[in-house]
């Protein structure tokens, strides 16, 4: 028999390949899961910010290198 599509599905979480029913977890386990999820989000955000920072640094380093080349060309013309 097909499940009623309007029946709410039990909430589950998969930890190390094992599916757990959230209703069966202790308060401590739920808190730990929330900590892990929050830390995963922070790690993604840190990596995103690192990519932006490295890209911006490379851009400014390129501008700095170009400024030295411009100075060298100006001195050569004098």
Sign, CA torsion 20/11/45/31: negative
Q: What is the pLDDT of residues 57-76, one digit of tens each?
A: 999 999 999 999 987 777 77
Whether 12 shows a pLDDT value over 90: the answer reads: yes
pTM higher than 0.75, yes or no? no
Reading the block at residue 56, the tokens are 């911006």
**Closest by Cα among 76, 56, 53 to 64:** 56
Domain ranges of the chain: 12-77
Do 14 and 20 touch, CB atoms closer than 8 A? Answer: yes
Q: With bands split at pLDDT 50, 70 and 90, how would you rate the model's confidence at 23?
A: very high
User: Position of tokens 């060309």?
Assistant: 73
Distance CA 74, CA 68 (A): 10
Confidence of residue 78 (pLDDT cuts 50, 70, 90): low
Q: What's the token pair of residue 3?
A: 């499940």
Average pLDDT for 20-38? 97
Would you place residue 3 in the very low, low, confident or very high pLDDT band (cuts 50, 70, 90)? low
């Amino acid at each position: 028999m097909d499940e009623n599509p309007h029946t709410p599905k039990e909430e589950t979480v998969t930890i190390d390949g094992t599916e757990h029913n959230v209703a069966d977890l202790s308060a401590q386990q739920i808190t730990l899961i929330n900590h892990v999820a929050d830390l995963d989000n922070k790690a993604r955000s840190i990596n995103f910010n690192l990519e932006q920072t490295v890209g911006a640094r490379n851009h400014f380093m390129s501008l700095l290198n170009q400024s030295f080349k411009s100075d060298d060309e100006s001195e050569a013309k004098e």
